Amino acid sequence: MERHSKRLGLLVDDLLSLTQLESANTELELNQVRVKELFNNLIHDWKEKFAAKNLKLVVDLPPDLQTIRADETRVQEVLYNLLENAVKYSREGGEIRLQAARRGSEIVLNVSDDGIGISRDQLPRIFERFYRADKARSREHGGTGLGLAIAKHIAQLHGGRIEAESELGRGTTIRVFLPSDL
Ligand SMILES: Nc1ncnc2c1ncn2[C@@H]1O[C@H](COP(=O)(O)OP(=O)(O)O)[C@@H](O)[C@H]1O
Ligand SMILES: [Mg+2]
């Protein structure tokens, strides 16, 4: 029962987040975001889950990329969701990478894991709301099926996009592209 109500609470949070993102008058609150701080906050949030699964975290942040212009709270939500997935769908002892880089006129933030991966036919659908690849497996892991839909929305609100690359049994990389001239 307690597990049930906790789950319902998470679903309500995600639905509110998505509804708010979809309302026409959603505006970004752009700030200069210190990427290192952003990463450190996220790492702090996930530290225990990483340790519990014996996961190794590799952070790659180029020295010339100190700040990005973005809505800090929302970008944090994106990366939080991506890290949550990376942890959930990793195997014990796996490796997760958190990277930021400049690519032409864009900033790319990416989270990769060497976990269970997503099959080729399911990959195009993972950003749909409530879509969960491998239903039974996903249910066992908990979650609402809204994390990536929220992440996609936030990327698009910034004028950016989100992409997934994955190989079943090998791992997954999710890349978030944000325009660097916001
Ligand atoms: N890093 C990943 N590795 C493997 N599968 C993933 C990963 N990220 C997302 N998925 C798949 O995409 C589906 C949608 O992800 P998401 O929207 O975050 O929902 P969920 O609440 O299920 O995590 C997940 O149910 C899972 O099947
Ligand atoms: Mg998720």
Closest Cα partner for 151 from 6, 23, 17? 17
Ligand index nearest the alpha carbon of residue 139: 1
Give the list of residues 6+ apart from residue 39 with CB closer than 8 angstroms, or none: 59, 61, 98, 100
Q: What are the residues facing 99 on neighbouring strands? A: 60, 110
Mean pLDDT of 34-57: 96
User: Whole-model pTM?
Assistant: 0.93
| Ligand 1: nearest atom to the Cα of 148 | 17
Q: Report the CATH number at residue 56.
A: 3.30.565.10
Total number of domains in the chain: 1
pLDDT for res 181: 86
Q: Is the pLDDT of residue 84 over 70?
A: yes
From ligand 1's centre to the CA of 54, what distance in Å?
20
Q: Is the pLDDT of residue 45 over 90?
A: yes
Ligand index nearest the alpha carbon of residue 96: 1
| Ligand 1: nearest atom to the Cα of 146 | 17
From ligand 2's centre to the CA of 31, what distance in Å?
26
Best probe residue, ligand 1, of 148, 154, 162, 172 (max atoms within 8 Å of C-beta): 148
Residue 7: which pLDDT band, with cuts at 50, 70 and 90?
A: confident
Q: What is the pLDDT of residues 64-79, one digit of tens each?
A: 999 999 999 999 999 9
From ligand 2's centre to the CA of 143, what distance in Å?
6
Provide the residue range defining the domain that includes 21.
Answer: 2-179
Angle at 68 between CA 55 and CA 60, to 5 degrees: 30
Q: What is the pLDDT of residues 86-145, one digit of tens each?
A: 999 999 999 999 999 999 999 999 999 999 999 999 999 999 998 888 776 666 677 788
| Ligand 1: nearest atom to the Cα of 116 | 4
Give the list of residues 6+ apart from residue 143 with CB closer than 8 angstroms, or none: 10, 84, 88, 132
Q: What is the pLDDT of residues 11-23, one digit of tens each?
A: 888 888 888 888 8
Atom 19 in ligand 1: which residue has the minimum CA distance? Answer: 145
Distances (CA, A) of 162 to 10, 91, 109, 156, 159: 23, 24, 10, 8, 11
C-alpha to C-alpha distance for 133 and 89, rounded to whole angstroms: 11
